[in-house]
Amino acid sequence: MRYITGGIALGAALVLGGLATTAQAQPATPKSLYAPSELVLTVGYGDNAATASIQRAVTLSCSSSGTGSHPAARAACAQLRTANGDFDAITKSAADRMCTKEWNPVTVTANGVWQGRRVAYEHTFANPCAMEGGKGLVFEF
């Protein structure tokens, strides 16, 4: 008959160690008075986000005045606030731009959180010319 005393001691230490760790967990506290607004924005060539070849991507944080890797973060955040976070109001606005009818799709996406709400937005423009007329400041990068 074999006795395995080391295994029992090791198991007891793991259980007791786990209890000590869980007792120290503290609830998360907010770091800001603003609702979270953190987005990852992309521009890519393709019919949809799943198959698009991503050309550019930036981060945009609008919890305060506007930060992130977006080159015009403050202006992009201001445009989103004016539109109440409605990306369709920005990308589907009527543009006074004349473009050819060629099909060379460009897809823009926004993923993350806007004022505490989960965001997963995707819009496909017919071609780069159409995107120039309807991307707004949010997708200007």
Give the domain extent around 130.
38-134
Q: What is the spatial distance between Cα 46 and Cα 28, in angstroms, rounded to a whole number?
A: 40
Q: Return the bridge partners of 124, or none.
A: 107
- What is the pTM (predicted TM-score) of this model? 0.72
Domain membership of residue 24 (yes or no) is: no
The reported pLDDT for the residue numbered 10 is 44
The reported pLDDT for the residue numbered 36 is 85
The reported pLDDT for the residue numbered 134 is 84
| pLDDT tens digits for range 82-118 | 999 999 999 886 566 788 899 999 999 999 999 999 9
Q: Is the pLDDT of residue 119 over 80?
A: yes
Nearest CA-CA partner of 110 in 121, 97, 126:
121
The reported pLDDT for the residue numbered 88 is 93
94: CATH = 3.30.350.10
Q: How many domains does the chain have?
A: 1
Query: Look-up: residue for tokens 């060629």?
Result: 102
Of the pLDDT bands very low, low, confident and very high (cuts 50, 70, 90), residue 33 is: low
Domain membership of residue 56 (yes or no) is: yes
